[in-house]
């Protein structure tokens, strides 16, 4: 089934606000755009309209957290993660405030709005911040679970969602998440495909294609980018001997960067990164953009073939 990230967001925030009166949701004039207008109507006393002033909104969230509330900032990733980066660094992450940032519109999947609205650096800049935890959801069930997970743990967290709909990966709303967790969605021993967010579905499709060629690919959803589930990943590095990463994000600094760092430090194995290559996006629909920017199942298949051919380099 194909369902919307943003509808899941609204539904889950309503549940959380109902259970915890200290929850307070802030948005920079994007309540309609992220579809939480139901929330603002029903829980006005737990909602803050910030206007189009993201830097201030981050500071306000810090102040709210300092007096005992749990602020959840919701908006487009470009504007709630990238624009107020310095504020997030100095007044959320550094003082370790219990502020959650839930960012929709992560990646070039944003589509027709074009490059200015396509956050392809957000995972990288959030991941380098000490004390910040970083997550990305691949479908509706995982969105709901990750919102519960970040809200039930103390400290700053960043959760990235896609813009539109996603094919269900987890059946019957059965996704369970943990801080530092990762899910093996498909076991395999020839190549480990590590994917995140909207690329998890494409990774699974790639694995099916590879199976037709007799390649046994594992698919791991590394939804907790920080902390990363290193032990699980290392066990698949050992089993498969090579890795492909897949993300709708620059390959530098995001999941690709994280996996290259882990590999370089702990296991010397070949890594190929599927993602946006040191360039900005443009307008187009998601399918067209994924084709042009090589974020398709076919691109993951090609990267898998290539990385398997490089195993001898590390022998």
Partner 1 sequence: MSVNSEYFTVPELEAKAKELRRTVVNMVYQAKSGHLGGSLSMVEMLVALYYRQMRVDPKNPKWEDRDRFVLSKGHTAPAYYAVLADKGFFDRSALLTQYRQLNSILQGHPDCKKTPGVDMSSGSLGIGLSTACGMALGAKRLGKNFRVYCIVGDGELNEGEIWEAIMFAHFHRLDNLTVLVDKNKMQNDGLTSEVMDMDELDDKWRSFGWSVYHVDGHNIQDILTALNQPSDQPKVIICDTIKGKGVSFMEMNIKFHGGCPTKEEYEQAMKELA
Which residue in the set 11, 38, 40, 55 belongs to the binding site for partner 1 (CB under 8 A)? 55
Q: How far is CA 200 from the centre of its chain?
A: 10
One character per residue 181-210, x = contact with partner 1 (rule: CB under 8 A): ------------------------------
User: From the CB of residue 66, how many other CB atoms can be counted at a distance below 10 Å?
Assistant: 13
Instruction: Give how far Cα 98 sits from Cα of 95, 122, 148, 158, Å.
Output: 9, 19, 14, 11
SS in 3 state form for 147-183? HHHHHCCCCCEEEECCCCEEECCCHHHCCCCCCCCCE
Nearest distance, CB of residue 196 and partner 1, angstroms:
31
Span of 7-15, 59-67, 226-234, 235-243 interacting with partner 1 by CB under 8 A: 59-67
Per rule CB under 8 A, is residue 101 in the interface with partner 1?
no
Residue 2, classified by CB atoms within 10 Å of its CB into exposed (0-12), middle (13-18) or buried (19+), is exposed
91 vs 308 by CB, closer to partner 1: 91
Nearest distance, CB of residue 177 and partner 1, angstroms:
28
5 vs 97 by CB, closer to partner 1: 97
Per rule CB under 8 A, is residue 18 in the interface with partner 1?
no
CA distance linking residue 29 with residue 43, whole number of Å: 16
Which residue in the set 25, 60, 108, 150 belongs to the binding site for partner 1 (CB under 8 A)? 60
Per rule CB under 8 A, is residue 63 in the interface with partner 1?
yes
Contact between 127 and 253 (Cβ < 8 Å):
yes
Nearest distance, CB of residue 86 and partner 1, angstroms:
6
Per rule CB under 8 A, is residue 65 in the interface with partner 1?
yes
Nearest distance, CB of residue 69 and partner 1, angstroms:
5
Per rule CB under 8 A, is residue 51 in the interface with partner 1?
yes
For residue 288, give every residue at least 6 positions away whose Cβ sits within 8 Å of its Cβ, in sequence order, or none: none
What residues pair up with 165 in beta bridges, in sequence order? 4
Whether the upstream peptide bond of residue 227 has omega within 30° of 0, thus cis, is yes
Question: Segment 67-96, which members bind partner 1 (CB under 8 A)?
Answer: 67-69, 71, 86-87, 90-91, 94-96
Residues that bind partner 1 (CB under 8 A): 22, 24, 45-46, 48, 50-51, 53, 55-69, 71, 86-87, 90-91, 94-96
């Amino acid at each position: 089934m194909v369902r919307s990230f943003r509808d899941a967001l609204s539904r889950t925030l309503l549940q959380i606000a109902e259970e915890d009166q200290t929850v307070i949701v802030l948005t920079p004039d994007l309540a309609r755009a992220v579809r939480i207008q139901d929330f603002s109507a029903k829980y006005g006393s737990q909602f803050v309209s910030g206007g189009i002033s993201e830097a201030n909104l981050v500071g306000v969230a810090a102040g709210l957290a300092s007096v005992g509330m749990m602020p959840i900032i919701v908006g487009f990733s470009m504007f709630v993660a990238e624009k107020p980066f310095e504020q997030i660094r100095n007044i959320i992450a550094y003082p370790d405030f219990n502020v959650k940032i839930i960012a929709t519109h992560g990646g070039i999947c944003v589509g027709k709005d074009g490059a200015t609205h396509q956050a392809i650096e957000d995972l990288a800049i959030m991941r380098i911040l000490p004390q910040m935890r970083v997550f990305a959801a691949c479908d509706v069930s995982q969105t709901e679970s990750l919102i519960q997970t970040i809200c039930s743990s103390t400290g700053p967290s960043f959760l990235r969602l896609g813009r539109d709909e996603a094919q269900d990966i987890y059946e019957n709303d059965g996704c369970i998440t943990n801080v530092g967790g990762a899910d093996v969605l498909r076991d395999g021993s020839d190549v480990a495909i590590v994917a995140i967010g909207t690329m998890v579905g494409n990774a699974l499709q790639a694995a099916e294609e590879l199976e037709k060629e007799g390649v046994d690919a594992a698919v791991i959803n590394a939804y907790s980018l920080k902390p990363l589930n290193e032990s699980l990943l290392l066990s698949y590095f050992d089993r498969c001997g090579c890795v492909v990463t897949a993300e709708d994000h620059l390959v530098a600094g995001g999941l690709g960067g994280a996996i290259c760092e882990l590999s370089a430090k702990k296991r010397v194995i070949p890594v190929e990164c599927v993602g946006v290559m040191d360039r900005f996006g443009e307008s187009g629909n998601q399918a067209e953009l994924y084709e042009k920017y090589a974020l398709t199942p076919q691109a993951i298949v090609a990267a898998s073939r290539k990385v398997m051919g490089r195993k001898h380099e590390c022998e």
